A and B are shown apart, each in its own frame.
Chain A
């Protein structure tokens, strides 16, 4: 279970204070598929960063299974991300000088897996996304849709319980978009928790629950999706 209590995140730039996010109370149960929608600058990425343990709140607490995330050290939060979370980015963020296989091996290597384990696990994960013949391609040698599939393979290779995705379909053609949404549906049915930031209302419809962000405040508005977008 993920829980936010009285969380405020502000940014101070050039003497001006911007409140990017404020949230009295938010609870996400394990296994939930949550879509986060809202206009640009409303604080969606800020919310993901806070949940991912990468951005400490200006005030308030974020709990992961009743353990306060930001009372842990930086290294412990890294370990939590490595073992329990997976990120999907709009721009894929593949490491440009590594091959598809090597990119997928990175989380395994951080976990300390042996070379042969890394090879077999990463290869089977890429095959699952139909990239068995692209193992040794660099990201620049792959199509956009293939790149996002490599990124998905990298996200899922450590079997994360929580998937945090920031506009994962934003840069994709319809077919690739379907692959991503299908993967998320599969993850959901496997019991994983998914938090997906999206502008795509049809994509948001895949989620069981929708949060709307507006100027930093979160509301639960499953009935007014069209208005929020």
Chain B
């Protein structure tokens, strides 16, 4: 017989009162853990997307619909390629890189791919007017680079399409394959492929990004225009803007410059996700509040009732020789066990809920966050012990003579 086995035996005797006294804490922890899991993963997803989205502003045809940032250029509509020139010559501060794209569905050796025409950096160098305009563009603040195109000596490989969303040079008859395409077609560097009636040599393949880019084939913009007989158009223009300008003046300035286009920013594309996150963030504080108030109050009430109905038992223990400190510990230990059990069960429940519901609520896969779960269990235990403190102290101060009273 120990203090702990005394508590355990009492708990085992009344399983339903155990459940009813700690159900609020259990559900509170479950809700909190579920919401925090989804929120954290959703936030990670947003920041992952933000960092992987090289361009933070997209210029699209006016009526383009927009469900997916990566696929935004595949909606069949086009806009004139000369917008690229207009943007560069306008010398807007904050524009760091401009890259037009024209995407076409195509077949490559029986495989459905998206053929995306891009303009290699070498094309920009060739345009003297663009270089001059860039030179006279004012810099607004430190950290912003001027619109700078042209071969960079750091990123000379096709892989730079993934890292900086640009490529230094791409001949008119060369293609770069996305990871999926490369894998499924089994073409590799140096092979010859045929698309839209043109012959291309594979310059290289890209590593996997987990985006729609994996199923693209990149070719020279002008080649794609020629083969598809579209004229000098593109389906989207990506602009890498300086962070602050992209968020501020750049979008209205671009809208003024190109009134017949639709200008969207990454944050707009991610707005639903950000909105979900904000809602979840707010909700989790609300749930935490409920957990503390309702969970704590219901446990405190149940504990007070428990102390009341065990008055004679407490008196008897004191008559036998238990100190008030022992009685205090008896009830605090009970609260501790309730808190740990309710916290753990609630945590598991929340985890399961998050894993099942996460993909539906926020479109993210959920991995258990152990530190968060541990914090939730510790918090539940803390709340339970704190809530039980006053009833427990009341028990410790009970008159031991109640051992003589009839029930």
Given A91-B406, A106-B317, A109-B2: A49 and B401 within 8 A (CB)? yes
Q: Which of B8-16, B223-231, B296-304 contacts A (4 or more CB under 8 A)?
A: B8-16
The interface residues of chain B lying within 8 Å CB-to-CB of A54 are 318-319, 399-401, 403
Interface residues in B384-407 by Cβ distance below 8 A to A read 399-401, 403-404, 406-407
In the complex, given contacts A81-B320, A102-B9, what are 12 additional A-B residue pairs having Cβ atoms less than 8 angstroms apart? A54-B399, A54-B401, A55-B400, A75-B324, A78-B318, A78-B323, A81-B319, A95-B316, A96-B13, A97-B10, A98-B9, A109-B6
A91–B316 Cα gap in the complex (Å)?
Answer: 11
- Evaluate contact between B404 and A108: CB separation under 8 angstroms: no
Given A55-B401, A87-B403: A93 and B312 within 8 A (CB)? yes
* Chain A residue nearest to B325 in the complex (CB): A75
The interface residues of chain B lying within 8 Å CB-to-CB of A89 are 316, 403-404
- Evaluate contact between A78 and B322: CB separation under 8 angstroms: yes
Q: Can you identify 6 A-B contacts, CB atoms within 8 angstroms?
A: A74-B323, A74-B324, A75-B324, A87-B320, A91-B406, A108-B1
Query: Does A57 interact with chain B (Cβ within 8 Å)?
Result: no
Which of B3, B318, B324, B400 is packed against the most chain A CB atoms within 10 Å?
B400
A93–B319 Cα gap in the complex (Å)?
Answer: 10
Cβ of A177 to closest chain B Cβ, rounded Å: 20
A173–B399 Cα gap in the complex (Å)?
Answer: 31
A75–B317 Cα gap in the complex (Å)?
Answer: 13
A82–B6 Cα gap in the complex (Å)?
Answer: 18
The interface residues of chain B lying within 8 Å CB-to-CB of A78 are 318, 321-324
A residues with a Cβ closer than 8 A to B are 45, 48-49, 52, 54-55, 74-75, 78-79, 81-83, 85, 87, 89, 91, 93, 95-98, 102, 105-111, 115, 118, 154, 158, 166
Given A102-B1, A102-B9: A154 and B320 within 8 A (CB)? yes
The interface residues of chain B lying within 8 Å CB-to-CB of A55 are 399-401
Interface residues in B1-32 by Cβ distance below 8 A to A read 1-3, 5-6, 9-10, 12-13
The 7 closest A-B pairs by CB, nearest first: A82-B321, A105-B1, A97-B13, A54-B400, A109-B1, A93-B316, A78-B323
The interface residues of chain B lying within 8 Å CB-to-CB of A154 are 320
Cβ of B137 to closest chain A Cβ, rounded Å: 82
Query: Does B191 interact with chain A (Cβ within 8 Å)?
Result: no
The interface residues of chain A lying within 8 Å CB-to-CB of B321 are 78-79, 81-83, 85, 107, 110-111, 158
- Evaluate contact between A93 and B403: CB separation under 8 angstroms: yes
The interface residues of chain B lying within 8 Å CB-to-CB of A166 are 404
Given A89-B404, A97-B9, A102-B9: A52 and B319 within 8 A (CB)? yes
The interface residues of chain B lying within 8 Å CB-to-CB of A95 are 313, 316-317
Given A49-B401, A82-B321: A106 and B13 within 8 A (CB)? no
Interface residues in B269-299 by Cβ distance below 8 A to A read none
Chain B residues bordering chain A, tally (CB within 8 A)? 30
The interface residues of chain A lying within 8 Å CB-to-CB of B9 are 97-98, 102
Which of B9, B313, B321, B323 is packed against the most chain A CB atoms within 10 Å?
B321
A154–B403 Cα gap in the complex (Å)?
Answer: 15
The interface residues of chain B lying within 8 Å CB-to-CB of A105 are 1
User: Residue-by-residue, is B300-316 near A (CB-CB < 8 Å gives 1, otherwise 0)?
Assistant: 00000000000011011
A52–B399 Cα gap in the complex (Å)?
Answer: 13
A107–B321 Cα gap in the complex (Å)?
Answer: 7
Chain B interface mostly helix, strand, loop or mixed? helix
Cβ of A24 to closest chain B Cβ, rounded Å: 23
A138–B320 Cα gap in the complex (Å)?
Answer: 19
- Evaluate contact between A106 and B320: CB separation under 8 angstroms: yes
- Evaluate contact between B325 and A110: CB separation under 8 angstroms: no
Which of A54, A55, A105 is packed against the most chain B CB atoms within 10 Å?
A54
A72–B103 Cα gap in the complex (Å)?
Answer: 92
A102–B10 Cα gap in the complex (Å)?
Answer: 12
A111–B403 Cα gap in the complex (Å)?
Answer: 20
A158–B13 Cα gap in the complex (Å)?
Answer: 27
* Chain A residue nearest to B324 in the complex (CB): A74
Query: Does B326 interact with chain A (Cβ within 8 Å)?
Result: yes
A110–B326 Cα gap in the complex (Å)?
Answer: 9
- Evaluate contact between A107 and B320: CB separation under 8 angstroms: yes
The interface residues of chain B lying within 8 Å CB-to-CB of A45 are 401, 404
Cβ of B10 to closest chain A Cβ, rounded Å: 5
Partner of B404, one of A49, A81, A107, A115: A49
The interface residues of chain B lying within 8 Å CB-to-CB of A115 are 1-2
* Chain A residue nearest to B400 in the complex (CB): A54
A180–B287 Cα gap in the complex (Å)?
Answer: 58
The interface residues of chain B lying within 8 Å CB-to-CB of A107 are 320-321
A3–B198 Cα gap in the complex (Å)?
Answer: 117
The interface residues of chain B lying within 8 Å CB-to-CB of A96 are 13, 313
A105–B10 Cα gap in the complex (Å)?
Answer: 15
Which of A45, A78, A83 is packed against the most chain B CB atoms within 10 Å?
A78
Given A97-B12, A97-B13, A102-B9: A82 and B320 within 8 A (CB)? yes
Cβ of B14 to closest chain A Cβ, rounded Å: 8
Cβ of A169 to closest chain B Cβ, rounded Å: 16
Cβ of A223 to closest chain B Cβ, rounded Å: 29
Cβ of A45 to closest chain B Cβ, rounded Å: 5
A93–B237 Cα gap in the complex (Å)?
Answer: 85
- Evaluate contact between A110 and B313: CB separation under 8 angstroms: no
The interface residues of chain A lying within 8 Å CB-to-CB of B6 are 98, 106, 109
Cβ of A144 to closest chain B Cβ, rounded Å: 15
* Chain A residue nearest to B317 in the complex (CB): A106
Interface residues in B130-171 by Cβ distance below 8 A to A read none
The interface residues of chain B lying within 8 Å CB-to-CB of A97 are 9-10, 12-13
